Amino acid sequence: AQKVTQAQTEISVVEKEDVTLDCVYETRDTTYYLFWYKQPPSGELVFLIRRNSFDEQNEISGRYSWNFQKSTSSFNFTITASQVVDSAVYFCALSSGYGGSQGNLIFGKGTKLSVKP
C-alpha cells in the first residue's frame, strides 16, 4: 500500500529563519512521482514541485529547495529565509507511475507552517 507521512503537524518560526518540512513515503512501485502542494488560508492547493522516482537530483527554486533521498524514502522541503507569506499548510503527495491508479495522488496529513514577523 502507498502511504505518505508528514510527522510535523505544526511548525512555527520567526521570519528569516530557515525551515525544513519532512516527508516520508511508502510504496512498492519502482516508478512513482512525488509532489509538494501549498494550501494558503484561502484554501486553494497550489502546485510547487513534481519529482519522478528516477530523478534524485535536488532542486532549488528561489527560496525553496527539495531533497529527495530514495535510500530513506524521504522528500523533504526547505524554505530559506522564511517570510510571512509562506504561512500555509504544506502537503506532500505520492502517485504511482503505472497501473489503474496512476495519477491518483495520495496525500499526507499536511504540515501547518506559521511564520511570525
> Which residues bind to other proteins, rule: CB under 8 A?
4, 31, 33, 35, 37, 42-47, 50, 52, 91, 93, 95, 97-98, 100-105, 107-110
Residues paired with 51 in a beta bridge: 34
- Of the candidates 75, 33, 27, 80, the one whose C-alpha atom is nearest the C-alpha of residue 53 is 33
If the CB atoms of residues 15 and 112 are measured against other proteins, the closer one turns out to be 112
Residue placing its CB nearer to other proteins in the complex, 20 or 102: 102
> How far apart (Å, rounded) are the C-alpha atoms in residues 39 and 87?
9
Question: Is 83 within 8 Å of 15 (Cβ atoms)?
Answer: yes
Minimum distance from residue 34 beta carbon to other proteins (Å): 10
In the complex with other proteins, which residue's Cβ is closer, 2 or 15? 2
Q: How far is the CB of 65 from other proteins (least distance, A)?
A: 18
Whole-number Å distance between alpha carbons of 55 and 33:
10
| CB of 63 vs other proteins, minimal distance in Å | 20
CB of 91 to other proteins, least distance (A): 5
Nearer to other proteins, 62 or 100 (CB): 100
d(CA 35, CA 95): 8
63: left (phi over 0), alpha (psi -120 to 50) or beta: alpha
